[in-house]
Structure 1
């Protein structure tokens, strides 16, 4: 490990039928920043790294290869259900929800208070991945147990 590491060591990876459109939408709707985008000879995204504060997701086209044989990354291939859900800590839940809604995110759970603290909401992106955003910061609380 490097002593000056500042990012998260857990990085979620998502597959999309249209990785180019997903990249643009996630930046516009959720406020991610494109850190690195790798394209093939035809100019299509083959791998992208998007950051949000010190967190990161990676995305690319859902497809074959060894990794594609092990995981199901498209909700439509899993009967509309997701194989993972991502939670992102935001400073202002209501304004973030308004931004996501304006970009066309499908509301799954409207903003609400949580019994464990904070407020959160959940939406689906255009390809059906479920995202949750909230003000609850589990790092700010001591572990229990």
Structure 2
């Protein structure tokens, strides 16, 4: 049965491929999908454990940042609400190269949140 979680942690690693290997070996996570950039560096991966999952990739900077990804129906409206309530906007709503909308912000204590239209699922898509 395919599950579509609406709240998903995401992690950035200096070496995304090593992280996948560790999560598989140490914790029993399974790869749903993984994509490399043109240099062979892990760009994005989705891994499941039971009905839950994590998103991960290779950090662009030396230090990665963990965060939470939340699926929302109206990214622009949600962005406006968060901004009005005092969230620090890391980047405003944008369309990704995969055709989804998202924005990223931090809460008052610096925890990173991404809100977007992409709906990860625990089964690999047919094109992966």
TM-score, length basis structure 2: 0.47
Q: Which has the higher contact order (CA 8 A, sep 6+)?
A: 2
Give the number of the structure whose alpha-carbon radius of gyration is greater. 1
